[in-house]
Structure 1
Amino acid sequence: MEWYKSKEVVEEVGVIGGLIVIQFLYASNSVMLSYLMSLGLNPLTFVYFSSFATFLVLSPVAFSFERSMWPKKLSLRLMVQLVLISFSGVTLFQTLFVKGVKLTSPAIATAMLNLAPGLIFVIAWITRLEKVKLSCLYSKVKILGTVLCVSGAVTMSLCSAAEEAFHSSLARDTTFDQQKIIGCFYLIAAVLALSSNSILQAVALAEFPAPISMCAIMSLIGASMTAAVQLFEDHKLDNGWPFLSFGKLVAFSFLGGGIGGSCIGFTCWAIKKRGAVLPSMFNPIATICSVIYSAIRLGDTINMPSLAGMVLMFTGLYSVLWAKVKEGYQPNEEDCFESGLHAEKPLLS
């Protein structure tokens, strides 16, 4: 019994410690992206190189641990779902996110990702995967939390853009920095794509219950689709940065893809062990780390109104997560019922 308890403690420490480390890695990755984009690297190039690197990292893990869960044959329905998941999760989300990082900052980009749980709730509500009863306290809290998240995102976007314009030599001619506004719209669209991707994955996981394998396949298909998009747009595959050698491009891509693949693999394991809510609770750490990294490495700063917007987003995030936990563990209350998105199950699976 003592051995079993000590094993549980070690596993708990490993899960929590790993989730904290992951947030540091995500923040570092965002800062690296911002630096590379500032030097002129084409966002599409980085997306398909790093996505292919993610595939190379995840595929051996998927083959070793999940091949027994692979379906005997791929139905047409599942293949269409995998293509849609790849397009929304890689080509659409990552391209929009990288472009958003380029036009804003790593701190704003990682903060915007905290919109995801609220948007997932809204999309799941619309598609009837999430049950909502307005007489239920937890449903009201989730709606309020989502409103706070969106309000925080809008506040942070406008205040950040206003500060940039104020310090600009063109401040007398404009109220807001248009590039920052566009960048924030890119990020919001990216989070919307990510949230929709979570819904699509939930449906596909019912037929293909191997999340790491699905992420590996998604990365490979997404890399191919992103390269095709660049060929269609530019009629060539070009990194957009003539001073970057192919070797350095591969090195940066494998660094980003390796970080992404490792984080995805560990997060899937943590979700399996502790449910989807726990990993989401650590998301704000990446934002805080990005603010510190950006201030040290890139010289970026964040004003007080933007910081207040972040706090609003974090408050909304934890409100949604609190309601999710309570709803999952107290399904038999008179005016409430258990959500289809259980706190101890992978999100939307």
Structure 2
Amino acid sequence: MGREVAYLVFVETHKSYIAILFIQFVYAGMALFSKAAILKGMNHFVFVVYRQALASIALAPFAYFFERDRYAPLSYTLLFKIFLVSFCGVTLGLNLYYVAIKYTSATLAAATTNTIPAITFVMAVILRMEILSMRQLSGLAKVLGSIAGVSGALVFAFVKGPPIHLFNGYPSNQSSNSPHTYSMTDGSTVEWLKGPLVMLSANTAWSLWLILQAPIVEQYPAKLRLTTLQCFFSCIQSACWAIGFERNIDSWKLGWDIRLLSVAYCGVVVTGITFWLQIWVIEKKGPVFIAIVGGAILLVGGLYSVLWGKNKEETKQSEIKEPIQETKEEIV
């Protein structure tokens, strides 16, 4: 009984951290599924439309049944604000993200999210939502941490190494005759630069969305309805965007393949669940918290995993060497 109480207390006090960790894993899956759908030939603008439409349909019943008794007045001014926030963060951020992922890898897309904490922090300081004091150690740590996050993402984005072939199903554009050399033509260089720069723009739009959630939630505290409205508005905005860029009817067709699975995952799990979780965490902890803590958890977890794996390898190597040494001594 005591253990159960302690477990419940732990979950209650750390639920914001658990939610952010879950969000990070979901976003990693989003990068993989999205890249797979685009490689399968799906138009990235159409992908956003279907994703947001499915998210709106999935969230609407929950928003109605769980928050129908909650009083949250919705004026035309507030509705217009939600429309603008949806465009600045969700519509612009997602469409730029999928344009960038077309030219880059899912790994780079996940890695460049390290710029989001720094961008969010700078925006929060400019808008006076975050306090910065360079005379204090905490303020200096914020600045150095932001610089480190951006520097790491830029190094990962612009330092180009040899291609690593993990899946045979996704062919590389590079020649297999020279696996240790990586040459780029002028066209590929432009695309290589375009991807990270567009991804940086997408992260900036996403950081702006995180910042703008706090004042919107104060005016409209019904979080499920707020998430549903943002998904609905972004679906309409993305549809206008997609129609302008893609007129081919065949590009709008979905089949029973990875494209439908990716749309379902990104629509229901990513947009439907994690957007609501992020708004909830922002209301509790603020926009900078959700941007920074997720990266910190993955950084510490990744470092621990590497050290643990290295220790296991050394242990196995020592266990192998000991019998060999004993055998040599017996022969001598």
**TM-score, structure 1 as length reference:** 0.69
CA contact (8 A) 1:52 1:223 kept: yes
Name the SS of the counterpart of 1:171 in structure 2.
coil
Distance 1:34 1:280 in 2: 25
2:133 alignment partner AA: K
Q: Deviations over 1:232-285 (max 9, x none)?
A: 233x3746377x538975554223211111233344555667776378533477
Map of 1:345 onto structure 2: none
CA contact (8 A) 2:52 2:232 kept: yes
Give 1:119's aligned residue.
119
Structure 2: which 5+ runs fail to align? 164-172, 176-181, 302-332
Say whether 1:255 aligns with 2:265.
Answer: yes
Change (3 A) 1:275 1:60: farther
Check if 1:180 corresponds to 2:192.
yes
- Deviation of the 1:12 alpha carbon: 5.6
Does the 8 Å CA contact 1:104/1:183 hold for their aligned counterparts? yes
Cα distance change on mapping 1:186 and 1:278 into 2, 3 Å: closer
Tell me if 1:265 matches 2:309: no
Q: Mark the CA change 1:279 to 1:177 in structure 2 (over 3 Å): closer, same or farther.
A: closer
Retained in 2: the 8 A contact 1:58–1:212? Answer: yes
CA contact (8 A) 1:87 1:225 kept: yes
Indicate the residue corresponding to 2:32 in structure 1.
31
Counterpart of 1:132 in 2: which secondary structure? coil
The question of whether the paired residues in 2 share the 8 Å contact of 1:24 and 1:285 is answered with no
Post-superposition CA distance 1:102-147 (Å, at most 9, x none): 2111111112222212111111222222232322222222122222
**SS state of the match for residue 52, structure 1?**
helix
1:199 is aligned to: 211
Distance 2:294 2:185 in 1: 41
Say whether 1:216 aligns with 2:228: yes
1:170-208: CA deviations, max 9, x gaps? 827559733222111111000000111122222222211
After superposition, the Cα gap between the structure-2 partners of 1:134 and 1:284, relative to the gap in structure 1 and judged at 3 Å, is: closer
Overall identity of the aligned pairs, in %: 24
The higher radius of gyration belongs to 2
Structure 2 CA distance for partners of 1:69 and 1:122, relative to 1, 3 Å:
farther
Query: Tell me, what secondary structure is at the counterpart of 2:251?
Result: coil
CA distance in 2, matches of 1:14, 1:153: 28
CA RMSD of aligned residues (A): 3.5
Which runs of 5 or more structure 1 residues have no equivalent in the other structure? Answer: 290-349
Greater shift after overlay, 51-60 or 39-48?
51-60
Change in 2 beyond 3 A, CA 1:247/1:278 = closer
Q: Which amino acid aligns with 1:30?
A: A
SS at 1:124's partner residue? Answer: helix
Q: C-alpha displacement at 1:93, in angstroms?
A: 0.5
- TM-score normalised by length of structure 2: 0.72
Cα offset, 1:46, TM superposition = 0.7
1:341 corresponds to which residue?
A: none
Mark the CA change 1:286 to 1:57 in structure 2 (over 3 Å): closer, same or farther.
Answer: farther
After superposition, the Cα gap between the structure-2 partners of 1:232 and 1:4, relative to the gap in structure 1 and judged at 3 Å, is same
Shift in Å, 1:215: 1.7
| Structure 1 position 218, deviation (Å) | 0.6
The 8 Å contact of residues 51 and 257 in structure 1, kept in 2 or not, is answered as yes
Distance between the aligned counterparts of 2:298 and 2:269, measured in 1? 14
Which secondary structure state, in structure 2, belongs to the residue aligned with residue 60 of structure 1?
Answer: helix
Alignment-mate amino acid for residue 178 of structure 1: V
How many pairs does the alignment contain?
284
Distance across 2 between alignment mates of 1:10 and 1:241: 43
1:107–1:288 CA contact under 8 A, matched in 2:
no
Q: How big is the shift at 1:49? A: 0.6
Query: For 1:248 and 1:7, how far apart are their aligned partners in 2?
Result: 38
Report the 3-state secondary structure (helix = DSSP H, G, I; strand = E; otherwise coil) of the residue aligned with 2:219.
coil
Residue equivalent to 1:74: 75
Counterpart of 1:72, as a letter, is P
Shift of 1:42: 0.6
Cα distance in 2 between the residues matched to 1:48 and 1:31: 18
Q: Distance in 2 between matches of 1:84 and 1:205?
A: 14
Which aligned pairs between 1:325-336 and structure 2 lie closer than 5 A? Answer: none
Query: For 1:57 and 1:283, how far apart are their aligned partners in 2?
Result: 28
Structure 1 counterpart of 2:85, which letter?
A: I
Aligned to 2:241: 229
